[in-house]
Amino acid sequence: MTSPTETAVLDALRTVREPELGGDLVSRNMVRDLVVDGSRVAMTIDLTTPACPLKDEIEADVRRALAPLGVETVQVDWSATVRRSTPTQSAELIPGVKNIIAVASGKGGVGKSTVSVNLATALALDGASVGLLDADITGPNIPQMLGVEGQPKATPAGKIEPLARHGVKVISIAFFVPEGQPIVWRGPLVGGAIQQFLRDVDWGDLDYLVVDLPPGTSDAQLTLAQSVPISGSVLVTTPQDVALSDVAKALSMFERMNVPVIGLVENMSAFVCPHCGEATEIFGRGGGERFAREHDLELLGQVPIDVTVRQGGDAGIPAVAQREPGPAAQAMQRIARTVAARMSVRAESSGPVLTVS
């Protein structure tokens, strides 16, 4: 068989579709640096997110498409260009941030901050540029959970330089108050702090800014929605009815503020015994799945109770960054990649994100 030409290879690649966005790899300009050398083909595929969950599927489709041409060796390298899913007016406040992801819950104690920390860290580990804004002003736990200490410095331009850990840029009110000192502020002060973290922090160029909101429906959520266009929100709940009742209020709040909801995370779905493997559904069974179905939401994932999550949170090592990730870490890694994929779809297909006037 004669060696394939570059034209033949490109024609074959036109039959490979992008699974999330549709269209073929060539028409979407995802094939870069193509080299055809006899029966060997090398290329770089430029994804819409480095956290793409479908890399293996795309590569398998590429190999199948090229096989009839007599290609014996296929080398696929990866790059990523994250698209902006927020309208350009967000550049006035945070010019380098492409996507803002709010993580919220209806009530405290469901693991919202744990999900925020692991979502941000997982995206960073996959190669994205990520920031994490601790908007829970009166209960800031993010620095401890990420293991970051110190006080931010000022940049030459007079901005606040965020601290960094596990590849994530972080800002929190905890960096600016003495340890153990309570923050007893009324709503306007809380809103003012969040606006300052958005306006006066030098976030640089970020693919994703994850915002850990306080539980409930309060000034913090309203301030964020009024200040910047939120690309999407992730709701966190446990399976129990009390948590589901409260997360319904958070969902209603985002709908009223015209903030798109990416989906629901069911945390603490079950405890799996590390010795016998038996699952004990401490907080009930299937509540998150039922809620997602009733409200036409995507169930992004179910995270089991795992002692390594608690240990990592106390030690400042997120579960996804641990040397031997457990089942909860694996679930949160999958959730992060799903969220990134949904952000890519939104950047591709949605119109402007509306904010509260």
Structural domains of the chain sorted by starting position, each given as residue range(s) with its CATH number in brackets? 6-80 (3.30.300.130), 88-349 (3.40.50.300)
pLDDT at 112 over 50: yes
Q: How far is CA 77 from CA 30, 45, 61, in A?
A: 12, 6, 15
CB contact at 8 A, 262 and 339: yes
pLDDT, residue 88, reads 53
- pLDDT of 275 reads 73
pTM of the model: 0.90
Task: Tell me what pLDDT residue 164 has.
Answer: 96
Q: How far apart are CA 317 and CA 169, in angstroms?
A: 15
Stretch 137-143: mean pLDDT: 91
Q: What is the C-alpha separation between 62 and 56, in angstroms, rounded?
A: 10
Nearest to 183 by CA among 191, 175, 173, 192: 173
pLDDT digits (tens, 9 = 90+) for 148-189: 999 999 999 999 999 999 999 999 999 998 887 887 787 788
Asked whether residue 351 carries a pLDDT value surpassing 70, the answer given is: no
- Specify the 3-state DSSP secondary structure of 163: strand
26, 13 contact by CB (below 8 A): yes
pLDDT confidence of residue 48: 92
pLDDT above 70: residue 86 = no
Where does the pLDDT of residue 301 fall: very low under 50, low under 70, confident under 90, or very high at 90 and above?
Answer: very high
306-347 pLDDT, tens digit per residue, is 888 888 999 999 999 998 888 899 999 999 999 999 999 888
Q: Which amino acid is at 58?
A: I
Contact indicator for 328, 315 with CB cutoff of 8 Å: no
108 compared with 24, residue with greater pLDDT: 24
Residue 263 has pLDDT above 50, yes or no: yes
Strands, E assignment, 86-207: 100-104, 130-134, 163-165, 168-171
pLDDT tier at 89, thresholds 50, 70, 90: very low
pLDDT for position 357: 31
pLDDT band at 353 (very low <50, low <70, confident <90, very high): very low
Distance CA(110)–CA(59), nearest Å, equals: 37
Residue 24's alpha-carbon distances to 76, 183, 216, 245, in angstroms, are 16, 53, 43, 43
